[in-house]
Amino acid sequence: MQDAVTPGRRRSKSGRLLRSRLGGFLRWLLPRLVTTLSYAIFRTCRIRFVDRHHEDQFVAAGKQIIFAGLHEGMMMLPYHFRDRSGGVVMVSRSRDGDIIADTVDRFGMRAVRGSSGRGGRDALEQMIDALRHDDVSAGVIVDGPRGPALEAKAGALVLARATGLPVVPGTWWARPLVRVRSWDRTVVPLPFSRIVFAFAPPLFVAPDASDAALEQARVELTRRLGEARANAQAACG
């Protein structure tokens, strides 16, 4: 986990570009491009799963989960969940988030806008309401929207405390791959890559869990995601 990049507070190059005269066109184009490229690339790759039973024990039985993933691996996550329509995903209220929200929608999921910095409380309440009444699962990028990379925040665990649903950690790796020059160093597999998607044991949070217990669970979620990441890397060779 030594290759994590702790973000600064400067505005990103992508953010400046999306505020330029080309911004509107890029916000229209990029979700369509990302969706098309995702299907084109991932269909050429050999995808293997490690410890998938941690997810399947709930999904195969038609039960809801709160999936917890990492920002660096967000490119594959919509593709992995493409057949689970109606799921809710928290996406930041930013120009980058506009693109992610449109992309998520194209994979059949619903974006709830908010983050730890902007609108997080409203977004959590919307996700809790959806999980309680719509019989859907949720996805949370736990180290977003701006890091520190690979370090979980508490949002997914707050959802778990409110709903009683399990938090299932998972992430993936690929060989060969390229990494985007962004704060999270987003992982992008090359065509015909070998991809390993690894899961870790689920976490449950008691409905009366204290803030101290929630913090312990957050640290444990970070550890389990790090373990899943290491397992995915090792299995890739």
pLDDT on residue 189: 97
Q: Which residues of the chain have pLDDT under 70?
A: 1-21, 23, 115-119
pLDDT on residue 8: 42
> Is-cis flag, bond preceding 191, omega within 30?
no
pLDDT on residue 21: 64
pLDDT on residue 145: 79
pLDDT on residue 116: 60
The whole-model pTM stands at 0.86
- pLDDT tens-digit map of 137-177: 999 999 977 889 999 999 999 999 999 999 999 999 999 99
The residues, ordered by sequence, that sit 6+ positions from 140 with a Cβ below 8 Å of its Cβ are 66, 67, 68, 69, 89, 90, 155, 156, 159
What does the block give as tokens for 112?
Answer: 């709830």
Measured between alpha carbons, how far is 187 from 184 in angstroms, rounded to an integer? 9
pLDDT on residue 208: 97
